[in-house]
Amino acid sequence: MVNVNRQPLERTTGADLIYINETMPSFVLVQYKTMRREGDPPKLLYRPDAQLAAELDRMRKIAPGRDDRSPMSFRLSPGACFLKLCKPVVRLDYTQDLVSGMYLPLSYYDALANSNEVAGPRGGAVFSYDTVRRHIDNTLFVSLVRGGWVGSRGATTKRLKDLVLNGLDADRSVTVAAASRNSVFEPSDS
């Protein structure tokens, strides 16, 4: 995992975190947004804004990668980009647990944003556990990334590898951890 939040790589890719699976090989890019409590009774929700739109536009420019029809390049979806809507964190404990929330593949987010399912009372989009009936939780996300079921492939993986390595050389303040055959990373689910 490469933490690129507020770094040159985020300005290039639109992602806050980039997950690296060396064994498949693939990259998964995730933009994180925090939901807020609103209403009476309060509910967790996220309202998309111009900043998210700009970040997702950068992510949309990442080509899905060519399927060479080999078992290692098979993905459930051609896209490698996700949005994660996170529950607010009261305090950060230095732990390996993932923050609770819902992962949305970028193409699914687009389908939701263009539907009436997330339309709020004044016509704007409102993403919440009530309006997003299906999402990927932490456990499933980790399994999909670890198994290479999602992520980049082919030339896109090569370009992302070069981009990430160059970004790391240019900015030494990022956090790096990559999954390999012997690594263990267990999620904390919602």
| Three-state SS letters, 40-86 | CCCEEEECCCHHHHHHHHHHHCCCCCCCCCCHHHCCCCCCCEEEEEE
183 belongs to a structural domain: no
- SS3 state at 160: helix
H or E stretch at 102:
strand 101-105
178 belongs to a structural domain: no
67 belongs to a structural domain: yes
Contact 180, 24 (CB under 8 A): no
177 belongs to a structural domain: no
Count the domains in the chain: 1
90 belongs to a structural domain: yes
180 belongs to a structural domain: no
Q: What is the pLDDT of residues 71-125, one digit of tens each?
A: 888 999 999 999 999 998 766 565 567 789 999 999 999 999 999 999 988 889 9
Structure tokens of 140?
């499933």
189 belongs to a structural domain: no
Give the neighbor-by-neighbor strand order of the sheet with 17-21.
2-3, 17-21, 26-34, 81-86, 101-105
Which range, of 98-112, 142-156, 168-182, averages the lowest pLDDT? 168-182
Q: Rounded CA gap, 126 and 117, in Å?
A: 9
Average pLDDT over residues 57-62: 91
pLDDT at residue 91, rounded to an integer: 61
179 belongs to a structural domain: no
pLDDT at residue 149, rounded to an integer: 96
Q: What is the pTM of this model?
A: 0.81
Count of other CB atoms within 10 angstroms of residue 1: 17
Contact 178, 45 (CB under 8 A): no
* pLDDT level of residue 183 (50, 70, 90 thresholds): very low
* Residue 145 domain boundaries: 2-170
